[in-house]
Amino acid sequence: MRQTWCDLTFLHWPYEPSVVRPLVPKELELDSFDGQAWVGLVPFMITGLTHPRLPALPWLSRFAETNVRTYVTDREGRPGVWFFSLDAARLAAVIGARLAYALPYFWARMEVHSDHRGTHYASRRLHGRAARSDIRVEPGDAIVTPSDLESFLTARFCLFARRGGHLLRADIEHEPWPLQQAMVTMLRQNLVEAAGLPEPAGNPLAHFARRVDVLVSALAPARS
């Protein structure tokens, strides 16, 4: 699939690995940084979603998404993302992603608004366990050179999923993130807790990216 991710915010909190490990398949290793696992809450807009050789459809190809994730490696040591949940504002996309990518998508009512002061995200899940978020961030002016931790959290070029007991993988291709540090001015959410994790402690590490163009491969079996 071809798509563009716009007005994306990374919110990250450290967790004890023992808390996160039971929620990750045994075929994957929980990836940690300085002994800590990290959980991300990531709201953004998707635009231009389509097959690489087909034009995008204006209504179907544009919608908001918020995912809850952690970071893993496979048995070959390849780093990637494990998603606990993905909320999206387009029911057809939710159904398609569940079928094509075996990912835990949920239909939600969502809004993303950006102005000169920052970006506001609002989400309310429409089926499954009740979950919602209300987030506002103000990005900094400059694009930063990522630190080792920032690269660990954002430079992830594959996702893992499971279907019928089999571990699957899809590769992700895009240019380096144009990261800006961000200040969180409002944060109300229970998406992390709905994923089965304890409530995050403390203020999140926050970053913002205006846009990145993305290619996502089809799912394929992950090598043992």
Tabulate helix, strand, coil % of the chain (nearest 5).
15, 55, 35
Q: Alpha-carbon distance 158 to 171, whole Å?
A: 4
Write the CB contacts of 97 (distance below 8 Å, at least 6 apart in sequence): 86, 88, 103, 105
Q: Whose CA is closest to 151, among 10, 7, 2, 4?
A: 10
User: Which pLDDT score is estimated for 133?
Assistant: 98
User: Which pLDDT score is estimated for 6?
Assistant: 97
User: Which pLDDT score is estimated for 60?
Assistant: 78
Domains of the chain: 2-221 (2.40.400.10)
Digitized pLDDT (tens) for each residue of the chain, 224 residues in all: 999 999 999 999 999 999 999 999 999 999 999 999 999 999 999 999 988 888 887 767 899 999 999 999 998 999 999 999 999 999 999 999 999 999 999 999 999 999 988 999 999 999 888 999 999 999 998 999 999 999 999 999 999 999 998 999 999 999 999 999 999 999 999 999 999 999 999 999 999 999 999 999 999 999 75
User: Which pLDDT score is estimated for 223?
Assistant: 72
Q: Whose CA is closest to 175, among 205, 213, 143?
A: 213
Structural tokens at position 32: 């940690």
Buried residues in 6-18 as b, exposed as e (16+ CB within 10 A):
bbbbbbbbbbebe
pTM recorded for the entire structure: 0.96
Q: Alpha-carbon distance 1 to 16, whole Å?
A: 34
